[in-house]
Amino acid sequence: DEFLSSPPKKTVRFGGTLTEILLKYEKGETTDFELLKHQLSDPDIKDAQIINWLHEFRAAVVYLTKELEQLVSILLKLPWLRRSREVVEEYLGFLGNLVSAQTVHLRPCLRMIVSQFVPPRITIREDDVDISDSDDDDENLSENFNTCHRALQTVARYVPSTPQFLMPILVENFPFINKSERTLECYVHNLLRVTMYLPALRLQILELIIEKLLKLDVSTPQQDIEDAEEAANSSDRDEKSTEEGLFDMEEDEERKGNKVVSSSSERMAHPLAERLDILMTILFSYIKDVCHVDGKLDINNTKNLYRDLVSVFDKLILPTHASCHVQYFMFYICSFKLGLAEAFLDHLWKKLQDPNNPSVIRQTAGSYIGSFLARAKFIPVVTVKACLDLLVNWMHKYIDNQDTGANAYCDVALHGPFYSTCQAVFYTLIFRHKQLLDGNLRKGLSYLQSLNFERIVMCQLNPLKICIPSVVNLFAAITRKYQLVFCYTIIERNNRQFIPVVRSGTGGDLVQTCTNPLDSFFPFDPYILKRSKKTIDPFYQFWEELSAEDLENLKKPIKRGNSEDEDDDFLKGETPQNDGVVGIAPNSYESNTRSPVSSIGSPPDCYVPYPQ
């Protein structure tokens, strides 16, 4: 009865046991071996068959030498992930046996596991064009990923050198940026999971991810993102106007609910910006999770991650000009603890003052200091003052060394780091002057007077001629208001000499350049990716509308152009968000020459001779 009620599991054998088949193959008898390969490649292979074969292979791994890599390749293609738990467990056991007995197969095993870090491909054909991409509706995706990580941990446990073989495979398998958002999202998420159990790879994995994010970021200038959003909004408005009145009931329901946000409202109109937004959200979540244990900040974890991120920042971010969003990973981790923000500022300061660094790196460090001090809400006034003291003292020493020498003239090629530092100080003062003067006006004014801006502005190096016009105009308005220095005489003189700055070109010729000779940018300009900005906004100092008093102040600076519209553009600003400074926010010059109001830009300010 027992025999009849439990028929044996279906197994097919060709010429005896697996060991016998492999030994025959070694002697040149290939018939059974070919049949074995054919059965393992069968798309309709049953779970019971897989388990039986794997069980035999586990006992015969000693025979699976390099000569049998074709057979191993077939085994690695077995559809084990989407099978029963028994198949999965047997397969994990087989992988462990295989790599421990035959390390020659380590790379193929790792490639097989990493290939499962993205959703499976589905084939779609339209008009004879293959537009296959990931299957985003796989319900078991999360469980499959968990199993992949178990497999990787199993291999790493048996082969300690796994990390060094794994990293090149992670690099070569990184999906192209035109793959679906889901594919990129899954791959980056899985890479970050690897760092949790292979910490030796964390720095390299962060470097890899941030390098890819940076390519996305510089491929999508802020202006392109804003234009795409504007186009999408206007097409939405057109659609709504044609359908007006059709869905009044639904609209009433939405108003009652007060907050009904469709998923499409969070999508970025620009496809690359959408990908970047999703990936930045994942990176921010990772930083938060690593630094917090049970909801509390873990100092050691945070310090270690900070060191890795600073290393990536130095290698990738600092040498990259005008990235818009990726650098905010430093902004975010620094928001966790003031000590980190101060360490970051100190790090940038060392880059800025070190004459052995290339001039362009020193200038960029200056831009980061100014933008960070201005925009990071979590930096208190006492830290701002300490930084201003450092920067201004360095500027005065620089003037001492240069003002009487042969190079004591306005030339951005010679004095780039000095001008960048000046702009950082001016920019910080524009954003922070109210807080510096808050509480005790006399004491605050005394501090600002001690910085001796007059000497900096009046020196032969003429920083007002080099810095971005919107920064100069605001700095001039604020310093005049508090009677710190009167800049307008110098601004007018600079305008009479034509605003393009004289630069020493090759062969000693003089080259005229446009009004951003420093080619400077503010790295922490407003963050515009819809999902990930929710992480940044609570720590971010937004700009506020002009008060009537400051409006009067800013109407008086000498115009550098000759169009009234240009002056009007300059007076546009953001709606008030918090208790910050008032005025119009100076922004990166490049991205503002035709910027909508939402991006708080400086006026388009190109080469225009001063009117006679």
String of DSSP letters for 347-409:
HHHHHHH-TTS-HHHHHHHHHHHHHHHHHBTTS-HHHHHHHHHHHHHHHHHHHHHHTTSTT-S
Q: Among 144-148, 276-280, 461-465, 496-500, which stretch is predicted with the lowest mean pLDDT?
A: 496-500
Rounded mean pLDDT, 224-235: 88
Higher-confidence residue: 258 or 496? 496
Q: Which sign does the torsion angle of CA 287, 288, 289, 291 carry?
A: positive
Question: Which pair of tokens denotes residue 305?
Answer: 């991650």
**Non-local CB neighbours of 157 within 8 Å, separated by 6+ positions:** 96
Mean pLDDT, the chain, whole residue set: 81
Higher-confidence residue: 550 or 440? 440
> Domain coordinates of the chain in residue numbers?
9-122+138-161, 360-502+516-523
% of the chain with per-residue pLDDT over 90: 53
- pLDDT tens digits for 541-597? 987 755 666 666 555 443 333 333 333 333 333 333 333 333 344 444 333 322 333
% of the chain with per-residue pLDDT over 70: 75
Pairing of strands 296-297, 292-293: antiparallel
Asked if residue 345 lies in contact with residue 550, where contact means CB atoms within 8 angstroms, the answer is no
Rounded mean pLDDT, 512-520: 64
Cα distance between residue 537 and residue 554, in whole Å? 28
- pLDDT tens digits for 80-118? 988 899 999 999 999 999 999 999 999 999 999 999 999
pLDDT for res 239? 64
pLDDT for res 25? 87
Q: Would you place residue 401 in the very low, low, confident or very high pLDDT band (cuts 50, 70, 90)?
A: confident
Q: Tell the residue number behind the tokens 């964390």, with chain if given.
A: 202
Q: Would you place residue 121 in the very low, low, confident or very high pLDDT band (cuts 50, 70, 90)?
A: confident
Give the 3-state secondary structure of residue 124: coil
**Non-local CB neighbours of 490 within 8 Å, separated by 6+ positions:** 457, 458, 462, 464, 465
Asked if residue 431 lies in contact with residue 583, where contact means CB atoms within 8 angstroms, the answer is no
Using alpha carbons, list the distances in angstroms from residue 378 to 33, 139, 308, 333, 350: 68, 41, 22, 11, 22
- pLDDT tens digits for 20-71? 888 888 888 888 889 999 989 988 889 999 999 999 999 889 989 999 989 9
Q: Would you place residue 418 in the very low, low, confident or very high pLDDT band (cuts 50, 70, 90)?
A: very high
Rounded mean pLDDT, 375-393: 96
Cα distance between residue 310 and residue 347, in whole Å? 9
- pLDDT tens digits for 247-303? 444 444 444 444 333 355 789 999 999 999 999 999 999 999 999 999 999 999 999
Residue 150 above 70 pLDDT? yes
